Amino acid sequence: MKQRRILARFRYRGQTTYVENVPAWVCDKCGEEYFDAPVYKSLEEIARQRERIQRVISFPLAEFDMTAA
């Protein structure tokens, strides 16, 4: 495990929020990300106050179709 700064995807009450520059523990083998409790609480607070977020991104979204594979 190494501590890194990441772009975190955080789901809260059915809404997804991306947060930049989040300190996280990242597994060297599988890439799984873990947050210390105070960091997680901060992510919750950011997600709770979504209306205060000023920058919005958009991205393409595709749906996986087994018949196309």
SS (H, E, C) 27-67: CCCCCCEECCHHHHHHHHHHHHCHHHCCCCCCCCCCCCCHH
Least confident window among 19-23, 35-39, 41-45, 61-65: 61-65
- Of the candidate CATH numbers 3.10.20.860, 3.40.630.40, 3.40.50.720, 3.40.50.150, the domain formed by 2-53 belongs to 3.10.20.860
**Three-state secondary structure call for residue 14:** coil
pTM: 0.76
- Please give the angle made by the CA atoms of 9, 60 and 68, to the nearest 5 degrees: 110
Tokens at residue 19, please?
């947060």
Query: Residue ranges per domain, the chain?
Result: 2-53
How far apart CA 57 and CA 16 sit, in angstroms, is 12
Q: 1-24: per-residue pLDDT in tens? A: 999 999 999 999 998 999 999 999
Higher pLDDT, 51 or 69: 51
